Amino acid sequence: QNDGYRTLSLSGHVGFGSLPDQLVKKSIKQGFCFNILCIGETGSGKSTLINSLFNTTFDDPVSSHFLPRVQLRAQTYELQEGNVLLKLTIVNTVGFGDQINKEDSYQPIVDYIDAQFEAYLQEELKIRRSLFSYHDTRIHVCLYFISPTGHSLKTLDLLAMKSLDSKVNIIPVIGKADSISKTELQKFKNKIMSELVSNGVQIYQFPTDDETISKINSTMNGHLPFAVVGSTEEVRIGNKMVRARQYPWGIVQVENENHCDFVKLREMLICTNMEDLREQTHARHYELYRRCRLEEMGFRDVGPENKPVSLQETYQAKRHEFYLELQRKEEEIRQQFVQRVREKEAILKEAEQKVHTKYEQHMLMLQEVKMKLEKKRKVLEDEIAMFIEKKANVEVLQSQASVSTPPVSVKKDKDRKKYVRC
């Protein structure tokens, strides 16, 4: 694939053969990101398998069966092997398949995956962006745990995988596979694969285009779904301690290929195809999401009359939309403010009214009291006037009487005194 350019031959050693190493060195510095989503019913062995895969113990509390809806729990760990630093995120579906009504079981998962794509898209669309140092949370692989019933896929499994196959790389696994016998296992696997095919579910195919790994990948493709067993305990076999499950009738060794497909899974997931999983997520699933989302937002590559839409128009449109949104929000807030002011005003007016009314009432009362007081005063004045008149009359009489009968005066004095006192 030279795209039609002339190939030149080199007359000596130039040195760009070191390019892949330069690239690798840079990647090591940057570190790697890998995000795994585990879907499976509670108790299907997800956490144990992850612990076994990465040969460590991730602190993950056991969940109950009684959650009202499916929740996704993401935890990020930093693992180091040699000089490779891996930022591993494990997303667990908690409560999957536990509800009586499972209709909404997979919607939260789809929403979660979309949300990670959305976050990346938003970063990519920013004017000032930092994609270089962005912590990529997009799900690179989904391990779907099938219950080891030995019969076929459940309806929930089919529906869930169908709704996810265009958004994420799905690797189906059979969890707790030590409960199925060898003969049943092959029949079970075949049944599962044919059901997936007949329902049009696109699971992840290990890539076979590169000759170094195509052989092993195509072999592995034939072993899907992987029947896995995980264990957090170690048992002594010979002179080594290995991960295994001890039963009264024997020991199931996790890393023994005759016992289960654990090693195959680890090989495929980590050692051979981690990079491809990341690339597929970015180049295929994310691009699809991006395309749909941009079209949804109203962007087009080709405008009316089939002319390519210019960059300016595209961003102008987005900016315009954004401003409209801003204006709308501003208007909304302004309306709310006006409303509140009105309400406050009304309250204040009412209060004022009340105060006014009270004031008037009091004024009225005051008037009444004043009038009453006036009346009483009048009465009193009349009485005083009458008394003065009477006093004057009595004095006149007395002056006339004193000329004729003096001894009565003592009594009359007393009477007078009494009278005056009244």
Partner 1 sequence: GSSLEPEEHSMEPPAAPEEELPLTEASGPAGCQLFGYVGIEAVLDQMKIKTMKMGFEFNIMVVGQSGLGKSTMVNTLFKSKVSRKASQPGQEERIPKTVQLQSVTHVIEEKGVKMKLTVTDTPGFGDQINNENCWDPIIKYINEQYERYLREEILITRKRKIPDTRVHGCVYFVPPTGHWLRPLDLEFMRRLSKIVNVVPVIAKADTLTLEERAEFKQRVRASSREAPGVPRVLPRPQLKPCILQIQADLKTHAISVYPQEDFDLDPDDRALNDRIREKIPFAVVGADQEHQVNGKRVLGRKTKWGIIEVENPAHCEFPLLRDLLIRSHLQDLKDITHNVHYESYRVRRLNESNRP
- For partner 1, the binding residues in 217-246 under the rule CB under 8 A are 242
Burial class (CB in 10 A: 0-12, 13-18, 19+), 241: exposed
State the pairing for strand pair 226-227/170-174. Answer: parallel
Q: Cβ of residue 101: shortest distance to partner 1, in angstroms?
A: 28
Give me the count of residues in the chain: 422
Per CB under 8 A, which region of 147-155, 177-185, 315-323, 359-367 contacts partner 1? 315-323
Q: Which regions of 231-308 does DSSP assign to beta strands (E)?
A: 234-237, 240-247, 250-253
Q: Cβ of residue 55: shortest distance to partner 1, in angstroms?
A: 5
**Is 312 a binder of partner 1 (CB under 8 A)?**
yes
Q: Which of residues 79-138 bind partner 1 (CB under 8 A)?
A: 79-82, 84, 86-87, 127-129, 132
Which H or E element spans position 239? none
N-term to C-term CA, the chain = 138
**Is 348 a binder of partner 1 (CB under 8 A)?**
no
If we measure between CA atoms, which residue out of 72, 22, 79, 41 comes closest to residue 274?
79
**Is 317 a binder of partner 1 (CB under 8 A)?**
no
Per CB under 8 A, which region of 50-58, 190-198, 218-226, 384-392 contacts partner 1? 50-58
User: Measured in whole angstroms, how far is the alpha carbon of residue 94 from the centre of its chain?
Assistant: 15
Burial class (CB in 10 A: 0-12, 13-18, 19+), 103: exposed
Question: In this structure, are residues 229 and 259 in contact, taking their beta carbons and an 8 Å threshold?
Answer: yes
Q: Which of residues 133-172 bind partner 1 (CB under 8 A)?
A: none
Q: Which of residues 60-89 bind partner 1 (CB under 8 A)?
A: 60, 75-82, 84, 86-87
β-partners of residue 39 are: 144
Per CB under 8 A, which region of 168-176, 195-203, 285-293, 402-410 contacts partner 1? 285-293
Q: Cβ of residue 6: shortest distance to partner 1, in angstroms?
A: 5
Q: Residue 136, SS3?
A: coil
CB atoms within 10 A of CB 189: 21
Q: d(Cα 244, Cα 63) in Å, to the nearest integer?
A: 23
**Is 299 a binder of partner 1 (CB under 8 A)?**
yes
Q: Which is nearer to partner 1, 13 or 418 (CB)?
A: 13
Q: Which is nearer to partner 1, 9 or 198 (CB)?
A: 9
Q: Which of residues 244-273 bind partner 1 (CB under 8 A)?
A: 255, 257, 263, 266-267, 270-273
Q: Cβ of residue 63: shortest distance to partner 1, in angstroms?
A: 14
Q: Cβ of residue 37: shortest distance to partner 1, in angstroms?
A: 17
Q: d(Cα 343, Cα 330) in Å, to the nearest integer?
A: 20
Per CB under 8 A, which region of 41-49, 167-175, 286-294, 384-392 contacts partner 1? 286-294
Q: Cβ of residue 224: shortest distance to partner 1, in angstroms?
A: 18
Q: Which is nearer to partner 1, 55 or 194 (CB)?
A: 55
Residue from 111, 184, 275, 360 in contact with partner 1 (CB under 8 A) = 275
Q: Which regions of 55-205 does DSSP assign to beta strands (E)?
A: 71-81, 84-94, 141-146, 170-174
